[in-house]
Structure 1
Amino acid sequence: MADVVEKGVSEDKPVEPVPENTYTIRPNFMHKYRPATAKEAIHVVLNEMLAEKQYDAEETTAWCKEISSEIKEKLKALGLDRYKYIVQVVIGEQRGEGVKMGCRCFWDSDTDNYAQDIFMNDSLFCVAAAFGVFHY
Structure 2
Amino acid sequence: MLASLSEPQLAMEASDTYLIRPNHQHKFKPAVVKEFIRELVRERLSGVQYNCEEVPELCRSLADCVKDKVKKAGFDRYKLVVQVAIGEQRGQGVKMSCRCLWDADTDNYAEDIYMNDSLFCVVAVFGSYYY
- Normalization by structure 2: what TM-score? 0.90
Quick check: 1:83 aligned with 2:78?
yes
For residue 121 of structure 1, the aligned residue among 113, 116, 122 is 116
By percentage of residues, which structure has more helix? 2
CA drift at 1:78: 0.5
Query: Which aligned runs of 4 or more in structure 1 are off by greater than 3 angstroms?
Result: none
Q: For 1:121 and 1:114, how far apart are their aligned partners in 2?
A: 24
Q: For 2:58 and 2:51, how far apart are their aligned partners in 1?
A: 10
Q: For 1:16 and 1:121, how far apart are their aligned partners in 2?
A: 62
CA drift at 1:30: 1.2
CA drift at 1:21: 2.5
Q: For 1:89 and 1:20, how far apart are their aligned partners in 2?
A: 39
Cross-structure match for 1:31: 26
Cα distance per residue 1:82-105 (max 9 Å; x no partner): 011000000000000100000111
> Which one has a bigger Cα radius of gyration?
1
Q: Which runs of structure 2 are paired with 1:1-136 in the superposition (5 Å)?
A: 16-17=4-5, 18=10, 19-22=13-16, 23-136=18-131
**Counterpart residue identity of residue 121, structure 1:** N
**Counterpart residue identity of residue 15, structure 2:** N
**Aligned sequence identity (%):** 53
Cα distance per residue 1:40-97 (max 9 Å; x no partner): 0000110111012100000000000000000000100111120110000000000001
Q: For 1:134 and 1:20, how far apart are their aligned partners in 2?
A: 19
CA drift at 1:16: 2.9
Q: For 1:20 and 1:60, how far apart are their aligned partners in 2?
A: 47
Please list every run of 5 or more consecutive structure 2 residues that lacks an aligned counterpart in the other structure.
none
Cα distance per residue 1:6-53 (max 9 Å; x no partner): xxxxxxx9x631334222000021111000000000001101110121
Q: Give the aligned CA root-mean-square deviation in angstroms.
A: 1.3
The number of aligned residues is: 123
SS in 2 for 1:73: helix
